[in-house]
Structure 1
């Protein structure tokens, strides 16, 4: 957030705290979904985000695993290790649950969830997309452990970047109209014991205005955030279906 604030100030934008008295629109937003939803109407900004079921609706060619959309009630009935996560908010910790009884007891049974086959990602990368193209990217984890690194810093990384770009081009060609024009997509190298080597798969999609930049270029991140959470009057018609309600 501090890096984005510095970049925004360098562009002549006023950087203000959400609860600062006298704040008026039009504004752009970078922050949490609860405060964002509360302030969007008063300040006139639109929050773009992927639909809850986007990952579950992708062909397995892009997910590399079985993913289905459901509710907490569905998740409570699982009897084998399953990766369970909230599709948008961080209402409970995402992770592998050995069975449904391990989920927090306080959750509303109607809360949406994504349920995924358990897989191993050798490395995971955060991609900020603008109009279906990668604006900036960063590795953020290796075998599930946080390990940010700029993408393209050496020859091996440049090869990885080229492979990620090819994968994203195929994804956008197949499903680009199911994502907002400014969004974050995380991808990873999937270890598959049934197939030699590693292959690419989508980890998840997220709202750009509530996504950590890791080692991405702050200037390019800001470009995506400004589109993903800006004045409603400037919103492109195709993005209207992705506005957070």
Structure 2
């Protein structure tokens, strides 16, 4: 049987709406192996035990509160607030409307939601139309990553990991078999999950300049596992998307409620701030 927050999960519901391919299918199989009831429909799910979630943020927003879910996610401004030695580039949190007026190329993405494609845009005028102009975005200096890794962190430590890209092209391999595994683990240990919920995904990479840097952080409950161990991935998903009543006190500031001001992280545990070149106000 698996464990979540120190308790057995057998007899609980693992709710996975939509398609069951890829990561979702692997997680369903592992959850069933642990004795969880795997369901795809929302109706009646809460009556058969405590509910855990794997699905998209839009669906979670519609049903999460009604199911009593405590969905953990990183703060929008987490990357901006990291010390420069962890990001190795200039990054700012702004709005889509403000970013439209910027000159020069930049990598622009929503911090968590997928409201438009994360990409290098030649200038602000090339950003896509459609999303609300108040949508928070991260605008960052363009950096070339030689290789990138996805890390599923549980209490700040790697529970599962995978290489997912080499020079921007998909190239997956388990972290344990990668020749840079030791360096990745040392960098992750230094980062230690500061300012993040206890169950989260962090992507890291090696820049063309030979320095390790954080790429971004994401919610574990809607992340591709790539080649990571599915047992470890499920451990992190269960921690990050289970019953609100089981969320530990330290994680309560990270619970998704749809009302958090992304430009004021006053309720989030503080990050050690280095106001160097890596942070743009």
Relative to the length of structure 1, the TM-score reads 0.92
Match of 2:33 in 1: 10
1:164 aligned onto 2:184: yes
Match of 1:111 in 2: 135
Aligned positions of 1:1-245 closer than 5 A: 1-19=24-42, 21-24=43-46, 26-153=50-177, 157=178, 159-172=179-192, 176-192=193-209, 198-245=210-257
Q: Which has the higher helix share?
A: 1
CA deviations over 1:116-151 (Å, ceiling 9, x no partner): 000100110000000010001100011111111111
Give the C-alpha shift of residue 35 in structure 1. 0.7
Give the C-alpha shift of residue 177 in structure 1. 4.0
Relative to the length of structure 2, the TM-score reads 0.81
Match of 2:276 in 1: none
The 1:18/1:202 distance shift into structure 2, 3 A limit, reads farther
State how far apart, in whole Å, the 1-side matches of 2:102 and 2:204 are.
Answer: 26
Give the C-alpha shift of residue 218 in structure 1. 0.4
State how far apart, in whole Å, the 2-side matches of 1:152 and 1:43 are.
Answer: 37
Root-mean-square deviation (Å): 1.1
Match of 2:269 in 1: none
Structure 1 outlier segments of 4+, above 4 Å: none
Partner-residue secondary structure (3-state), 1:203: strand
State how far apart, in whole Å, the 2-side matches of 1:205 and 1:99 are.
Answer: 24
State how far apart, in whole Å, the 2-side matches of 1:18 and 1:169 are.
Answer: 39
Match of 1:195 in 2: none
- Unaligned 5+ segments in structure 1 are 193-197
- Unaligned 5+ segments in structure 2 are 1-23, 258-281
Partner-residue secondary structure (3-state), 1:104: coil
Paired positions, count = 232
Partner-residue secondary structure (3-state), 2:46: coil
Give the C-alpha shift of residue 108 in structure 1. 1.6
Partner-residue secondary structure (3-state), 1:42: coil
**Preserved CA contact (<8 Å) 2:53 2:238:** yes
State how far apart, in whole Å, the 2-side matches of 1:48 and 1:18 are.
Answer: 22
**Preserved CA contact (<8 Å) 2:172 2:226:** yes
